[in-house]
């Protein structure tokens, strides 16, 4: 066969530029032709086949590099066989270079299935009878949310292929807040590939909660709404963010530079936002810090044993895909200031491109004081304003919104933050009943206890390849000759030199952090340069380790994992989590117990939000924030923000006064 011609393969200059729409279409065409695929073949995710780390570093170092091959990696669900395949297409050659079946693996929700499940459930007579028993006279007002099945035991083995367990909610009008009226005790099991409703469980009628919980201004001030308000606030004055000379950053394709930072932005349908080759210009040299950084997985286990809720333990990234759920961001709403947006191009299940408009937002923020000192003898004050670059996207996963934010600061700090909002996953109660495993938010309505775990994957490259990781604790010195006054304490570093050792938990009482060191690169003090990972708020799982949640979410049992760099090991919970009983992912990767001394390595940081629902979380949850920092530790020879210019005299009276006095 002749190779499929590739009109787009030479159009992208840098090897890390995401696939174009033409390249996505080309990859699908190559697979169809070479494997004689029919209409039952459904493309799950198509994304850039990223070049090997060593090849990319060599390409960047070359004066006149030859183009690296453009590859597209994809997975494909062959419905006619019930088999999942992984493939790689060489876009320049127009050929397949990989095609492998993955035995036992099941794909996530396909885009086309999300609304098809609702239609199939509403057509089932058993479901119709169940909602009628609850007084629902117009089933068209019901919402059916397609929840993954999890794996609670042998009954969830894929005898019928992929299954889902949708939950039902009732609106009173088309624009009503449907999550205000959950249908408690009604659980449907559906075979996704055939859209056959296998079972309808009805655990008894619980009255629908009586009150609306609308949040749109057109509805929220109506009588009976909870919470109740008389009308909108009238005392909110405008805040205007202006940069008359434009932003300080430059965006060339997906290449982003800002002050001394240099990086590339990627986007995949599963992970969403990805950062590549994050580096800092120092002393005329571009010094690498991160080779690749992304959210590897998120896992949300619920703590309520009631029939409607105990199966809720979802991998929103691996079971759905965050990139395909990206919001089109709006100026002045999602992002404020001098904004630049990037569209994201993902695939539909036919292998055609879909453009996610304004999926990524880039802007600058004032962050308060960067540093300050006043010499009280001379009354001279020097102060600098901190600024940070923000790179973000937001995904809507059913009822929840998640905002994912990377921050780069003047002082060399990298921060990652997840902002949680949206609507709680609600349940209904009989009048007068109080929940044991959740809290009331409105009459007859409660939110179950749950947790949100996030795992960020960091391919480290601190001042180049060959890194090591140490755990650092602060320890009080025992009384005695070395601590005669009882005030002494020291820091102690434990080398995490193998994968069996590099599975760690937090100890905030010891001020624990982890430092990533390049022993082959010394600062002017003769110390190895490093970055340190500073934990933020966190929690441990509350489940029993041998239960379904403990098995499936085993990576959450540790807050830090370090593994040898392997581009095939991308996802903390495993590559395919649908109906996967676990454990998979990080516990399996780390079982190899590879050496971690002065080598290419990957740091995985797991952080959890502990959500005990409040009435104030209804009807839409105020944003909650959680994350961590990467801070330079001997990476620079001093404060890297020292060279920030003074604020303009019209903005800072300290310096205006100083200029007046010294004239």
Active site residues: 316, 400
Residues 31-35: contacts with CB under 8 Å, at least 24 apart: 31/74, 31/76, 31/87, 31/89, 31/96, 31/99, 31/351, 32/351, 33/1, 33/4, 34/1, 34/95, 34/96, 34/99, 35/96, 35/99
> 532 - beta bridge partners?
515, 631
Residue 319 to residue 317: CA distance in whole angstroms = 6
Residue 206 to residue 184: CA distance in whole angstroms = 6
Residue 563 to residue 574: CA distance in whole angstroms = 14
Residue 122 tokens read as 């509403």
CA distances from 262 to 374, 462, 526, 629, 634 (A): 33, 14, 26, 18, 20
Residue 572 to residue 118: CA distance in whole angstroms = 30
Those residues whose C-beta lies under 8 Å from the C-beta of residue 62, and which sit 6 or more positions away, are none
Burial of 312: CB neighbours in 10 Å, binned 0-12, 13-18, 19+:
buried
> Is the Cα dihedral 317, 393, 265, 633 positive or negative?
negative
Residue 88 to residue 47: CA distance in whole angstroms = 10
Question: What are the helix and strand counts (H, E) for the chain?
Answer: 9, 32
Residue 292 to residue 294: CA distance in whole angstroms = 7
Residue 619 to residue 68: CA distance in whole angstroms = 51
Q: What is 463-522 written as a DSSP string?
A: TSS-BEEEEEEEEEPPSBTTBTTS--EEEEEEE--BTTT-EE---GGGT-EEEEEEEEEE
Residue 332 to residue 343: CA distance in whole angstroms = 18
Q: Work out the angle at residue 481's Cα, subtended by the Cα atoms of residues 480 and 482, and round it to the nearest 5 degrees.
A: 95
Q: Work out the angle at residue 535's Cα, subtended by the Cα atoms of residues 265 and 341, and round it to the nearest 5 degrees.
A: 20
Backbone angles phi, psi at 375, to 5 degrees: -80, 105
Residue 94 tokens read as 């127009």
Those residues whose C-beta lies under 8 Å from the C-beta of residue 97, and which sit 6 or more positions away, are 71, 88, 89, 90
Half-sphere exposure of 568 (CA within 13 A, CB side): 4
* Contact between 576 and 588 (Cβ < 8 Å): no
Burial 234-254 (b: 16+ CB within 10 A, else e): eeeeeeeeeeeeebebeeeeb
> Is the Cα dihedral 399, 47, 458, 363 positive or negative?
negative
């Amino acid at each position: 066969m002749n190779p499929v011609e590739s009109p787009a393969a030479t159009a992208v200059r840098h090897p890390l530029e995401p696939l174009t729409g033409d390249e996505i279409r080309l990859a699908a065409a190559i697979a169809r032709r070479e494997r004689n695929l029919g209409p039952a073949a459904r493309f799950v995710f198509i994304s850039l086949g990223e070049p090997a780390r060593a090849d990319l570093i060599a390409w960047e170092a070359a004066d006149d590099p030859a183009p690296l091959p453009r590859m597209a990696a994809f997975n494909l669900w062959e419905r006619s066989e019930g088999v999942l395949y992984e493939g790689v297409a060489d876009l320049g050659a127009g050929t397949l270079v990989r095609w492998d079946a993955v035995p036992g693996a099941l794909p996530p929700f396909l885009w086309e299935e999300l609304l098809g499940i609702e239609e199939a459930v509403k057509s089932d007579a058993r479901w119709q009878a169940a909602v009628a028993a609850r007084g629902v006279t117009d089933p068209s007002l019901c919402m059916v949310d397609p929840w993954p099945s999890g794996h609670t035991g042998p009954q969830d083995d894929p005898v019928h292929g992929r299954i889902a367990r949708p939950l039902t909610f009732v609106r009173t009008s088309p624009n009503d807040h449907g999550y205000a009226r959950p249908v408690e005790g009604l659980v449907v099991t559906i075979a996704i590939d055939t859209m056959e409703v296998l079972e309808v469980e009805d655990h008894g009628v619980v009255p629908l909660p009586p009150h609306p919980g609308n949040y749109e201004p057109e509805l929220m001030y109506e009588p009976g709404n909870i919470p109740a308000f008389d009308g909108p606030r009238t005392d909110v004055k405008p805040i205007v963010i202006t940069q008359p000379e434009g932003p300080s950053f430059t965006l060339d394709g997906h290449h982003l530079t800002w002050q001394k930072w240099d990086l590339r932005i990627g986007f995949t349908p599963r992970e969403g936002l990805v950062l590549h080759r994050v580096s800092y210009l120092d002393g005329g040299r571009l010094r690498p810090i991160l080779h690749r950084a992304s959210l590897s997985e998120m896992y949300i286990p619920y703590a309520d044993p009631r029939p409607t809720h105990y199966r809720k333990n979802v991998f929103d990234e691996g079971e759905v895909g965050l990139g395909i759920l990206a919001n089109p961001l709006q100026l002045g709403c999602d992002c404020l200031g001098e904004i630049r947006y990037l569209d994201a191009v993902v695939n539909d299940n036919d292998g055609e491109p879909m453009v996610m408009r304004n999926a990524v937002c880039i802007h600058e923020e004032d962050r308060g004081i960067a540093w300050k000192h006043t010499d009280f003898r001379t009354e001279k004050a020097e102060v600098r304003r901190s600024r940070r670059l923000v790179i973000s996207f937001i995904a809507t996963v059913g009822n929840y919104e998640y905002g994912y934010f990377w921050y780069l600061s003047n002082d060399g700090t990298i921060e990652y933050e997840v902002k949680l909002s949206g609507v709680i996953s609600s349940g209904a109660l009989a009048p007068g009943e109080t929940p044991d495993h959740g809290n009331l938010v409105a009459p007859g309505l409660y939110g179950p206890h749950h947790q949100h775990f996030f795992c960020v994957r960091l391919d480290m490259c601190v001042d180049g390849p060959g890194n090591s990781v140490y755990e650092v604790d602060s320890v009080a010195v025992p009384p005695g000759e070395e601590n005669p006054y009882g005030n002494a304490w020291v820091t102690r570093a434990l080398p995490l030199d193998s994968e069996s050792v590099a599975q760690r938990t937090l100890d905030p009482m010891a001020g624990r952090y982890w430092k990533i060191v390049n022993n082959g690169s010394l600062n002017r003090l003769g110390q190895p340069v490093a970055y340190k990972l500073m934990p933020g708020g966190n929690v441990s799982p509350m489940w029993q380790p041998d239960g379904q949640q403990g098995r499936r979410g085993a990576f959450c049992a540790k807050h830090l994992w370090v593994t040898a760099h392997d581009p095939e090991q991308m996802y903390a919970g495993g590559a395919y989590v649908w109906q996967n009983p676990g454990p998979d992912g990080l516990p399996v990767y780390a079982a190899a117990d590879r050496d971690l001394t002065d080598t290419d390595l990957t740091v995985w940081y797991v952080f959890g939000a502990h959500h005990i629902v409040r009435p104030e979380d209804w009807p839409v949850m105020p944003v909650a924030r959680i994350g961590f920092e990467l801070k330079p530790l001997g990476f620079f020879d001093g404060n890297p923000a020292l060279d920030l210019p003074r604020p303009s005299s019209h903005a800072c009276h300290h310096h205006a006064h100083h200029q007046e006095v010294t004239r």
